Amino acid sequence: MKYIFLNLKRFDIPPELGGVNRLAPLPQWGAAVVTGVQEKLRPLAEECRFPVFFPEAHILGAAGALAADSPVELGCQGVFRQDTAVGGNFGAFTTGRPAHAAAALGCGWTMIGHCEERRDKAGVLAEAGVQDTAAVNRVLNQEVRRAAEAGLNVLYCIGETAEESPRRDEVLREQLTVGLEGVDTADGKVVIAYEPVWAIGPGKTPPGREFIQEVARVIKGITGGLPVVYGGGLKTDNAAMLASIPEMDGGLIALTRFTGEIGFYPDEYIEIIHTYFGK
């Protein structure tokens, strides 16, 4: 089984407010994403899963637009490290998004450990005088556990920065062993996304096929063969290359257009997927 993930970040914000949403008015944005792709994904539904991570305000709109047996699976962009429990905390988590809330809204997936989340958590810890990457992984582990307890599938993101590149395998091993400690990964509900953080962004050189294949082998060796997708950006120009790597099980799409009116466009999303599958 292959996995093509779509991370819509905060792509709901219109250009006049600094965002990239040219797809639909805000009240209809989540539904527009779903209706723009779900029927075109059906021919590939038997060989690939298509989870989409929405900003939280649009989960209900997206859920309402799902057709019967839609190939689109809903996800949220992270969960809180604590959750509700019968006879325990009833939801006193102001600003937090409990995993049970995500599940109740219709999510089957969540994304944890994205490089942007890792950077934020490291920044908060640094303000407290803590310079400990293991601390970030321990916090993420709490999130992964809460997601698993709520029955959510998890896309767990890992990756090294430029400073960490010389000890890449050590960094990835720590992120995996600490971040997934105590999590039952035998149930098929955890997928790993590899993000080469040093290669993400304008003007940076992405890794080549041999490098990505090598990292995928390392990750599968550490995790006992968990599915691995490329989280550095699945695009039209690298889709065929990534599809040719047997150790890679898919990819993570964000932007579909990187110049001009940048942003997410359903037809371009479908084009990337068709390129990946050689259609």
- Would 268 be classed as within a structural domain? no
CATH number at 122 reads 3.20.20.70
pLDDT band, residue 201 (cuts 50/70/90): confident
Query: What is the DSSP secondary structure assignment for residue 257, as one 8-state letter?
Result: B
Reading the block at residue 230, the tokens are 């490329």
Q: In total, how many domains does the chain have? A: 1
Mean pLDDT of 216-225: 97
Task: Report yes or no on 12 lying in a domain.
Answer: yes
Calculate the dihedral angle through the C-alpha atoms of 124, 10, 90, 147, rounding to the nearest 10 degrees: -80
**Is residue 229 in some structural domain?**
yes
Does residue 32 belong to any structural domain of this protein? yes
Is there a domain that residue 258 lies in?
A: yes
b/e map 58-70, b = 16+ CB within 10 Å: bbebbbebbeeeb
State how far the Cα of 6 lies from the Cα of 71, in Å rounded to an integer.
13
Alpha-helical segments (H) within 90-132: 99-105, 115-127
| Greatest Cα pair distance in the chain | 53
Across the range 116-121, mean pLDDT stands at 95
What's the confidence (pLDDT) of residue 130?
84
Q: Which domain holds residue 23?
A: 2-85+94-263
4-17 pLDDT per residue, tens = 999 999 999 999 99
Asked if the structure places residue 178 within a domain, the reply is yes
Is 54's pLDDT higher than 80? Answer: yes
129-148: per-residue pLDDT in tens? 988 889 999 999 999 999 99
Active-site residues, by number, are: 114, 195
Q: pLDDT class for 238, splitting at 50, 70, 90? A: very high
